[in-house]
Amino acid sequence: MIKSLIISTQRSPKLKIEWYHLLEHCLVEELQFLIDNSDLKETGIVLEAETFIDGFHIEIIFNNDKNYNNLIKIIRKAIKNVSKSKIVPDQIEVINEEVKHFDLTIEEKSLYNPIITIIGKNIEELYCKINKLDIVSIRSFFEKVDYRLIYANKDCFEIIQDSKVSSIKVNENNFDVYKQEPYLNGFIKSEISTTKEFMLLSLLSFIIGKSNNSVLDKQYLNKNNYYLGYSHDINVYGIFIILFVAEYQKDTEFINKDSIYSFIEECNFSMYRNAFITYFCLTETPRSIAKIFSRNLNQFPSIEYKDLIQEIHQINKEDLLSFVEFL
């Protein structure tokens, strides 16, 4: 049975993303070194890591319960070693080479463009090189990082070590659309503090742009004989953001919050909800949910995966309509 330990930290908006990217690389390097020099070397442990605009997570994936306590010790030792400014100089070169090869398409830039207006961060900050003149500040930063540690298996996930998660100032609009040929883009956003809010937003995103009979399909793409249009979700600083992008030509009329509300009001809600349950079970696991929540919610209990699915079953049309109305 696959299990994982997730180490995460939330980025301070005042600090550079590339510093967190370097910390992620150095911590992964130290974790791998300690695992390779332990009795766990041949147990099939896999490391995965990702840095995003709000911080990073590192996932240590394993399959034997007996490895748990030893991995916890290794994690704590790795964090301690790295916090003592154990910067791996080679990793600076690796990161600078890595970001040099990233190439965002016009479509991707358009999709992520609303992030700038929402939280003041640009997706292209992920691809900044590390300035070696920052090295003294980076060493100080490494010493002060606050980590969260989460355990996840196929049934649930729970916090082992908590950390302080901060909210940031965001714009007041919860819905907006930007039109610039050849794409339009936009967002719907809401703060999340409960799993029900997370599920309502996930369901809303599915209905808007992830199903074969989505709002985008029926109210925009089919009407204009367009092909490209979809929604994409990100969770940053406790804010769930539904991003959407679609083909656009001048003066094409696009959907708005009222038309989304009307679509939900008139649709076969049970069909969409059941399709979303299938989609959610295919695409999300306790591991993936734990990674989403690890940087973004201050407190949450041990969450059972089956309870999340049950929560979707309990959502009715009126719940979603009320949620959309007050966005």
Which residue in 151, 175, 174 sits closest to 162, CA to CA?
151
Whether residue 166 has pLDDT greater than 80: no
315: confidence class by pLDDT, cuts 50, 70, 90: very high
Phi then psi dihedrals of residue 232, to 5 deg: -145, 135
Which residue in 233, 230, 237 sits closest to 203, CA to CA?
233
Encode pLDDT of 249-303 as tens digits: 988 889 899 999 999 999 999 999 999 999 999 999 888 988 888 877 666 667 8
* pLDDT at position 157: 86
Encode pLDDT of 207-222 as tens digits: 999 998 999 999 999 9
Encode pLDDT of 139-153 as tens digits: 899 999 999 999 999
- Measured CA angle at 123 (ends 117, 126), to 5 deg: 145
Residue with tokens 């959502």, as numbered in its chain: 315
* pLDDT at position 169: 82
* Strand spans (E) along 237-271: 239-247
* pLDDT at position 206: 98
Encode pLDDT of 81-105 as tens digits: 999 866 767 888 888 888 887 888 9
Strand partners, 177: 186
**Residue 49 and residue 56: Cα distance in Å, rounded?**
7
Whether residue 69 has pLDDT greater than 90: yes
Dihedral angle, C-alpha 83, 88, 92, 97, nearest 10 ° = -130
Whether residue 54 has pLDDT greater than 70: yes
Query: Would the pTM of this model clear 0.85, i.e. be above it?
Result: yes
Dihedral angle, C-alpha 29, 34, 40, 46, nearest 10 ° = -10
- The total of other beta-carbon atoms located within 10 Å of residue 265's CB is 13
**Residue count (the chain):** 327
230: confidence class by pLDDT, cuts 50, 70, 90: very high
* pLDDT at position 301: 62
